[in-house]
Amino acid sequence: MNGDWLRRARDGRLCAYAYTPDGDAVICRTERTPGGAWSEPRTVGGDQRLYTVLALAQGPGGYTHLASWRPTVPGESGLVHSTHFQPHLAALDWTPIGHPNKKGDRTGPPAVAVDAQGRAHVFVRNKGGGVSMRAQLEKGGWGPWRDLKGKGTRGELAAVTGESGLVTLYAASADGILRWRQEKPGGTPVQDEKPQPAQVRPDTLRALATSPEHVTLFFTDEDGGLCAWRGDDAPERFMEAAGPGAVAAIRCSLDGVDCTLLAQRAHSGRVAFAAYPTELESAGAWWAESGPALPPDARIALAEDVSGRVVAATCVPGNPDRMHMTRRKDEPGLALEAWRQVY
């Protein structure tokens, strides 16, 4: 999955997205009441058969936008999009949005961001190794596919909407980090003149809006260091990564301080947490492990519940019954409740 699969809906309830055990559909589980028991899984987007790839993003109205690949004719695939307005209700049926090269098989995992006007932007690698984008129009429907250029992209993309409401996209390549930024609402993101030199481990990009001026990109370098980059200077390697995958990241208030909280599956298999004052990587951060050991393909997500408490969740792809959760205790620091399975 590309994006946060655990989200708080506009009515305050948490919802979680996952694959069905056979991998050809997406399901959603929702709290029946904020902080209460969870519903049974419900299929998202109708009966359309999908591949096991999913991108998610949440818009300013609390609506979740989803994108995935579906098989079309033998040897070819197309991208589809759905919007989930209220998690306890059915999502819109999957809408075909085409292929970045008009036709062909899957070219890479998609990414989604939603701008301040609620328009989804779907990004995906194209056959040439660059990135293409298709965005919703303000009055409905979709604009054309646009080739954003770039070359040699690899792994998952990272798309994010800043506090300004403008969209930024990141990709890893052998030359470093590629970045595209919107210059105005509804505009086509423009690529930086040259890549930012960095040895990026593919599939470790994670972007987070950290101030009105900045988005912070987190990634793991080839030596296993966790790095942060905001575009003004070179990336800062500020701690060792706890494990090989991407981090989950969220801004939250810890004891009245604006902090960035990171979570990652550690090499031990447990979930590792680290927190530090937002945009002050120089202050230092240290990992603390929690919970039982997880399989290598486990996913981790962070969210805040309706009362503002941090929630962490883990799931195993294709096994929605293996979701576990913990919440921050109502006490100073980052003390967590015992992990529990969500039934």
| Positions of the chain with pLDDT lower than 70, given as ranges | 320-321
pLDDT, residue 238, reads 98
Q: Which residues of 295-332 are buried (b: 16+ CB within 10 A; e: fewer)?
A: eeebbbbbbbbeeeebbbbbbbbeebebbbbbbbeeee
pTM: 0.96
Tens digit of pLDDT for each residue in 242-282?
Answer: 999 999 999 999 999 999 999 999 999 999 999 999 999 99
pLDDT, residue 232, reads 83
Provide the residue ranges of all domains of the chain, joining segments of one domain with +.
Answer: 6-197
Residue/partner pairs of 77-80 with CB below 8 Å, 24 or more apart: 77/51, 77/104, 77/105, 77/106, 79/110, 79/122, 79/124, 79/134, 80/45, 80/48, 80/50
CATH number of the domain located at residue range(s) 6-197 in this protein: 2.120.10.10
pLDDT, residue 30, reads 94
pLDDT, residue 255, reads 93
pLDDT, residue 129, reads 97
CA distance 311 to 295: 20
